[in-house]
Structure 1
Amino acid sequence: MSRPPRNPTNPPSSSEEPGQGPQLSDGAAQGPRPPAVIAVTLVVAAEATALLLAACWYGYQLAVGSPVLSFWGAVFTMGLLLAFSAWLYAVAVYLYRGYRWTRAAALVAQLFVLTIGFPALSSGLVLAGLAMLLPAATAIVLLFHNRVISYASRTGGSTPAL
């Protein structure tokens, strides 16, 4: 059974099916936010906060004169930490809103965390390794949950070309 086409600029009619979420500008239905989306968003935001704290600690160490091989290399590393933190915050915000591109970005971030967490765990840093591996593994599993996939399918609205 198909529905007739609907102009997204028109107000919704009273004949819409109950329980269907509000229509987005691109026509996709956006239902209630699943708890799994909130969990993945919190994991990604926590990782962004950890990177931001690492950048602040790195900057403090540079300010107090800790020895480094290359000052500008250290400044570049601090800039990378800040940039990745900002990127992860953006991923968390747009994943919470339900944008499609954020699932791939969150997955890549979790794979990077896994590549750091496994060596940390195997080198004897059990607590630090588990603190990285468990949230990352949870986020990866939840990213492939069917409700997360269906919720995070929103595309960016664009204006017509002509």
Structure 2
Amino acid sequence: MSRDPENSSEAASGPDRDGIGPPPGKPAGAPLRPAGIMVIAVIVALEATALLVAAIWYGSQLLTGAPVLSFWGAVFTLGLLLAFSSWLYAVALFLFRGYRWPRAGALVAQLFVLTIGFPTVTGGYTVAGLAMLVPAVLAIVLLFDKRVIAFASRAGGAPPAL
């Protein structure tokens, strides 16, 4: 039989009578993952997937002999697409884990998407432009939510020695 906690710190850190407490491996005072983090991580991961698909298509066009002005310029563009896609996957993963540094990376990525989305909408491709603008604006708004900031504040320290 368990006893009632005598002070509020025991009540906040320990599991309640149903055995429900903080998830294993997570400190008792750590905030739970807010829905905003999930939404931002999914948006960034989908953007990374779109860049990866574009890189695959671009690479296949390069291999099939599609005419290009500069072969090495095309290879450099392909490398940029692959690097940016990898970077966005890392941002999504570490933001989901609650690290601090990916917030800035996600914000910069969304600002890049906005700079492509606005001309796309005004250029007559409304659906494609809105498909870029709406998730980017949603991610920017959620990045400044206080629950997201509170959760994504973990600094990356050195790993334990043993």
TM-score by length of 2: 0.83
Within 1, Cα distance between the matches of 2:157 and 2:11? 22
Q: CA deviation at 1:127?
A: 1.0
Counterpart-to-counterpart distance in 1, 2:59 and 2:112: 23
Unaligned runs of 5+ in 1: 1-13
Instruction: Report the equivalent of 2:10.
Output: 15
Q: How many Å apart are 1:16 and its aligned residue?
A: 6.4
The aligned counterpart of 2:3 is: none
SS in 1 for 2:12: coil
Q: Residues of 2 paired with 1:81 and 1:150: CA distance?
A: 32
Matched letter for residue 124 of structure 1: G
Deviation of 1:32 after TM superposition, in Å, equals 1.3
Aligned to 1:118: 118
Count of aligned pairs:
143
User: Which residue identity does 1:17 align to in structure 2?
Assistant: A
- Following TM superposition, by how much is the alpha carbon of 1:80 offset from its aligned partner in structure 2, in angstroms? 0.2
SS of 1:15 mapped into structure 2: helix
Higher-Rg structure is 2
Task: Look up the equivalent residue of 2:12 and give its one-letter code.
Answer: E
Quote the RMSD (CA, aligned, Å): 2.0
Give 1:79's aligned amino acid: G
Equivalent position of 1:144 in the other structure = 144
The letter for the 1-side match of 2:81 is L
Taking the aligned partners of 1:159 and 1:38, their CA distance within structure 2 comes to 25
Aligned position for 2:103:
103
- Report % sequence identity: 63
Give unmatched runs, 5+ long, in structure 2: 1-8, 15-20
1:54-69 superposed matches below 5 A: 54-69=54-69
Instruction: Name the aligned partner's letter for residue 57 of structure 1.
Output: W
Residue identity matched to 2:47 = E
* Structure 2 Cα separation of the partners of residues 94 and 159 of structure 1: 15
**TM-score, reference length from structure 1:** 0.83
